[in-house]
């Protein structure tokens, strides 16, 4: 295995994965900050593929927060049922819509602290919205793929998403923060899988410490 410090390792990982994934965008289908917020909230413990089946109907019925805030829990739950945890997600989305309408005139806020005040929005979701919808890199979204791969590569020793994020933002240039989630998520789905990582065809094989494998 090639030896290098963590900063150089992070840069090498970014360079190699960008060759594999030259065009980066979220796997969720969306057209504006409101749609991305809804899709990301629904994606918790649900596949992006399944969310993309739900959102066309959702966005047709509730194209803006003004539309959703007046809807009943039962009506929303019926539409998002297949996303799992549908009652809680429905409750959070309705509550978030009401806050967005009352405080921000129907516009999804573009500040971390304001996003975190919305029901159902944690740092991962807020980072995804800020980076993808507003072009603001304020952190790195840490999901299950980022968590797993960061540990395997030796970029972080923690299992806590907040600590992992702090570790990663010290290693990667700020202009790459928004890309890191995309790169590691796609890579985690295709190569560095949870149960059977395909190390033999991995372009990071020679620089990976393979922790936990």
Report the pLDDT value the prediction gives residue 208, as an integer from 0 to 100. Answer: 94
**194 to each of 189, 198, 204, how far by Cα in Å?**
8, 10, 16
Which pTM does this prediction carry? 0.92
**106 to each of 69, 74, 102, 114, 189, how far by Cα in Å?**
10, 22, 7, 13, 35
Residue 143 designated active-site: yes
For the chain, domain boundaries: 6-25+140-207, 33-134
Cβ neighbours, 10 Å, residue 176? 17
Tokens of 93: 């989305």
Residue 110 designated active-site: no
Residues 130-184: tens digit of each pLDDT:
999 999 999 999 999 999 999 999 999 999 999 999 999 999 999 999 999 999 9
* H-helix segments, 33-176: 33-42, 48-61, 65-68, 73-80, 86-104, 112-116, 123-134, 144-152, 161-169
Topology adopted by domain 6-25+140-207: Endonuclease Iii, domain 2 (1.10.1670)
From the candidates 48, 61, 89, 124, give the one annotated as an active-site residue. 124
Topology adopted by domain 33-134: Endonuclease III; domain 1 (1.10.340)
Residues 13-66: tens digit of each pLDDT:
999 999 999 988 889 999 999 999 999 999 999 999 999 999 999 999 999 999
192: which DSSP letter?
S
Using the predicted structure, report yes or no on whether residue 4 has a pLDDT greater than 80: no
From the candidates 89, 143, 147, 167, give the one annotated as an active-site residue. 143
- Which has the closest alpha carbon to 181: 136, 130, 133, 127? 127
Q: How far apart are CA 44 and CA 40, in angstroms?
A: 7
């Amino acid at each position: 295995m090639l030896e290098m410090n963590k900063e150089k390792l992070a840069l090498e990982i970014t360079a190699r994965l960008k060759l594999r994934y030259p065009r980066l965008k979220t796997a969720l289908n969306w057209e504006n900050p409101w749609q991305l917020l809804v899709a990301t909230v629904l994606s918790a413990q649900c596949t992006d593929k399944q969310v993309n089946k739900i959102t066309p109907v959702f966005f047709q019925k509730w194209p803006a927060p003004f539309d959703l805030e007046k809807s009943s829990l039962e009506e929303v739950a019926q539409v998002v049922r297949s996303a799992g945890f549908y009652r809680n997600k429905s409750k959070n989305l309705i509550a978030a819509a009401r806050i967005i309408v009352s405080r921000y005139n129907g516009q999804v806020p573009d500040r971390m602290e304001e996003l975190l005040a919305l029901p159902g929005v944690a740092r991962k979701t807020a980072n995804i919205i800020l980076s993808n919808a507003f072009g603001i890199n304020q952190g790195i979204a840490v999901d299950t793929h980022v968590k797993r791969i960061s540990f395997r590569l030796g970029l972080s020793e923690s299992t806590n998403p907040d600590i992992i994020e702090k570790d990663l933002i010290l290693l990667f240039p700020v202009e790459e923060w928004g890309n890191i989630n995309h790169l590691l998520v796609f890579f985690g789905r295709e190569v560095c899988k949870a149960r059977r990582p395909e190390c033999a065809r991995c372009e990071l094989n020679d620089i990976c410490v393979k922790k936990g494998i």
